[in-house]
Structure 1
Amino acid sequence: MRYYTFFAGILFLSLSCKQQAPEISMQEDVRILASDSLGGRETGTEGARMAAEYLEKRMADLDLSPAGTKAGYRQEFSFRDKTDPHAEVSFEKASDSSINGINLIGLLDNGGSRTVIIGAHYDHLGMGGNGSLHRGDAAIHNGADDNASGVAVMLHLARALKQSQTAKDNYLFIAFSGEEMGLLGSNYFAKNPTLSLDEVPFMINLDMVGRMREDRTLSISGTGTSPIWKQELNALNPGFKLVLSESGVGPSDHTSFYLQDIPVLHFFTGQHEDYHKPSDDAPKLNYSEMDAVSDYILKLLQSMEQQREVAFRKTKNESEEVPRFKVALGVIPDYLFDGEGMRIDGVSEDKPAQRAGLQKGDIVIQLGDSTVTDMMSYMRALSVFEEGDSTRVVVSRNGEQVEASIKF
């Protein structure tokens, strides 16, 4: 009960200070959104509604204009939870059997002819369930990196752009609901926009930007969706190790806008062993590097204001080329690794990889008869096996090759 009392106090403070809004830090935004009081922010729960209420007040304190429906910040939608994981979710009128999601939408109106969309999902996995990598009893999945970090950077950018004396474009800030259930909030907005999408030159998506590594690797997807992206991103790079991916389709909310023929970029600092686990907590985030990512994006936005035409380009859908496989090794791949092979970023308990003695940091270079040179070749190699099969795996560990037997 004391958690809810504390949270109510934060909301009261936000309301009482509306005329002179305090400059809330990214660390404070993450601390509140990733607190136990919100119960993991699963869409349709009381915790998600409390998170929406907090974000509504934050947008008001930032003096963003309400840009939802019914003259408010909220865009509400309802859907029925699907029983078939391969089926599409259909939106419907609210009923006792439906789940209700809430997008929060605020507009910084600079009187421009264009409106850039900056978005981040605020929902997470609640107590676990589908998508959780936690083994054990149900526990709160606070989702500090996924995706309180992205929301905090979005709000930080809103303040910076609000204070700018030179901004020409308008900026629409959207905190999406239902991302973990299938990009539902962004899908709903893209099909039911609260402003004309013809005004939108591009969309920026912030999803998991809180765990920058020591080598400062920053992944940016969607770089092929406009011919201008690579030139701008490389020219403005303050020293990140950029890993650029061209595809506009991926497992996050930018996909919904790419499918509307809008150029997109998705910023991401990589998966980690706390991904989709109860241990994804606020103290583990790298707040100074979140500041650096925010500054980088701000410079990009300022530069893009000089590019009055942002051409859209379709990209190859890399997800369509992913082989289907019936077994899993039980590892978390390092999607930011740009060397040869597939680097393991985490090992799941009681899975084939752990039983074979594979470790975090191992680089898989051979699986069965197939040489592994990258993520795609690893997935192709994995796709030939079925449950019950055995094979050998070769990894590079601290510069030495180690061979192990795998049973799926």
Structure 2
Amino acid sequence: MKNAFVLLFLLGLLSCKKETTLETTLKDDVEFLSSDDLEGRQTGSEGEQKAATYISKRFKELGLEAKGTDGYYQAFSFKPKTDPHQEVNYTVKDGDSTITGTNIVGLINNNAENTVIIGAHYDHLGYGAEGSLYRGEKAIHNGADDNASGVAVLLDLAKKLNKSNTNNNYVFIAFSGEEMGLLGSNYFVKNPTIDTKAANYMINMDMVGRLKADSSLAVYGVGTSPILKQTLNAHNTNFKLIQKESGVGPSDHTSFYNADIPVLHFFTGQHDDYHKPGDDSDKLNYEGMKTISNYIYEVISDLNDNGKLPFRKTKNESEETPRFKVGLGVIPDYLYDGKGMRIDGISEDKPAQKAGLLKGDIVIKLGDSSITDMMSYMKALSTFEKGNTTKVVVDRNGKEVEAEISF
């Protein structure tokens, strides 16, 4: 009995040690990728190259086969767009002002018929490239949540999937150029290093590091294959799931959806530090990241014996999004599923701040329009022009507060 007790104690100790190592690995990956030494990982920068070297070494440590065009690397050069609506020019001439990004691609080859693609972008905004919401002095945008968090979960999944769920192969891709317009994922789809006809489905993690107290987790693309929604629900014991049908969104899964591949995109929501220097590693919820990684692994495991998933087109919600001439200067809470539009952050020196609106306020009326959800908010906002003044009504802790907004 004594020996049995000692054995159980040792097994428990080993179990705790494994659990700690898992959390430490996630945290170590984030801390390196979001350190000041990498200077914000802007596409084509020296800092991004340091990140690429680190990720490729981690791929090798985890036993992934190199599947780029040069070892783990798939470099692509492009000419920056001068018009946001033009197609990116990947074919450049000598002497052009070009940028070179680098995807990192690794494979778990189970000699299976189909391949699951797991991706996360690793580039960010450097010292504040286009897309930054910061208006202060020059500062590094470390991008811990956006998207060192997604890369860390990707690496954790590579560790979990090695020698398990062998009915699929698994290709892991850390994308470059996402912040500049999904360039790395777009390039990979057009220049694949795997047989994309055998691509089963694609999982994307972008900003999964700040799981909130209510455990809200958004999953986009649930309508891109009939089985996805029921699989997600079957394994959900920890999250308040916010499920979105569309396979189109502002992250790398869109490139694969456009190639008729089912997709799932995981996201824990925006926050005050989004695209600002304050997105640092000490603000992440590492226990939450571990729980998300385990959940995705369970979903992948369930789908292991389902063969190739059928693809289904979804309604493109972005085509219905109104065009704006003005902005309120807020970050919406995209995970809020109640009535109205809840404010998750306030930009400095913008109409909302000047009107005294606060984080947590729920916009329920803008001008003459009642606000019931995100779409009604966007439709109402699209009717205003610069110089207009109107009333906004918010629900603040159960009380209606009215303010005047000047655009």
TM-score exceeds 0.5: yes
* Most deviating of 326-335 and 86-95: 86-95
Distance in 2 of aligned mates of 1:182 and 1:125? 12
Helix, strand or coil: the match of 2:305?
coil
Q: TM-score, with normalisation over the residues of structure 2?
A: 0.93
2:271 maps to 1:272:
yes
In the aligned structure 2, how far is the partner of 1:167 from the partner of 1:195? 17
Q: CA deviation at 1:140?
A: 0.3
In the other structure, the counterpart of 2:364 is 365
CA contact 1:56–1:104 (8 Å) conserved in 2: yes
For residues 135-154 of structure 1, give each alpha carbon's deviation from its aligned partner in whole angstroms, at most 9, with x where no partner exists: 11111000000000000000
CA distance in 1, matches of 2:87, 2:386: 28
Answer yes or no: is the 8 Å Cα contact 1:94–1:100 preserved in 2: no
1:106 — aligned with what?
106
State the TM-score, normalizing by the size of structure 1.
Answer: 0.93
> 1:177 — aligned with what?
176
> Secondary structure in 1 aligned to 2:272?
coil
Is residue 2:378 matched to residue 1:405? no
Give the distance between the partners of 1:313 and 1:192, measured in 2 at CA: 23
Please give the residue correspondences for 1:214-363 in structure 2 after superposition, counting only pairs within 5 Å.
214-363=213-362
Question: Who is 2:68 aligned against?
Answer: 68
For residues 298 and 356 of structure 1, the distance between their equivalents in structure 2, rounded to whole angstroms, comes to 45
Residue deviations 1:365-405 (CA, integer Å, cap 9, x gap): 00000000000000000001000000000000000000000
Amino acid at match of 1:357: G
C-alpha deviation, 1:93, in angstroms: 4.2
In the alignment, the residues of structure 1 paired with residue 85 and residue 106 of structure 2 have an alpha-carbon distance, to the nearest angstrom, of: 33
Is residue 91 of structure 1 aligned with residue 54 of structure 2?
Answer: no
Which runs of 5 or more structure 1 residues have no equivalent in the other structure? Answer: 1-21
Q: Secondary structure of 2:104's match?
A: strand
**Could you tell me how far apart the structure 1 residues matched to 2:116 and 2:179 are?**
24
| Partner residue, 1:56 | 56
Amino acid in structure 1 at the alignment position of 2:57: K
Give 1:95 deviation, angstroms: 4.1
Counterpart residue number, 1:18: none
CA contact (8 A) 1:327 1:383 kept: yes
Deviation at 1:130, TM superposition (A): 0.9
Tell me what 1:134 maps to. Answer: 134
Task: Please list, as runs of the form range in 1=range in 2, the aligned pairs for 1:155-166 lying within 5 A after superposition.
Answer: 155-164=155-164, 166=165
**Alignment: residue pair count:** 385
Residue identity in the other structure for 2:81: K
Whole-angstrom CA distance in 2 between matches of 1:400 and 1:129: 39
CA distance in 1, matches of 2:39, 2:383: 40
User: Runs of 5+ in structure 2 lacking a partner?
Assistant: 1-20
C-alpha contact (below 8 Å) 1:167/1:302 kept by paired residues: no
Q: Percentage identity across aligned positions?
A: 63
Please say if residues 78 and 94 of structure 1, whose CA atoms lie closer than 8 Å, have aligned partners that are also in contact. Answer: no
177 and 322 in structure 1: CA distance in 2 versus 1, 3 angstrom threshold: same
* Equivalent residues of 2:330, 2:346 under 8 A apart: yes
Tell whether the 8 Å contact from 2:182 to 2:255 is kept in structure 1 after alignment: yes
Per-residue deviation, residues 206-242 of structure 1 (Å, max 9, x unmatched)? 0000000000000000011011111100011122000
Distance 1:309 1:114 in 2: 7
Q: Distance in 2 between matches of 1:86 and 1:111?
A: 41
Q: Is contact 2:210-2:285 (8 Å) kept?
A: yes
- 2:202 — aligned with what? 203
- Quote how far apart the aligned CAs of 1:168 are: 2.2
State the shift of 1:94 in Å. Answer: 6.9
* CA RMSD between the two structures: 1.1
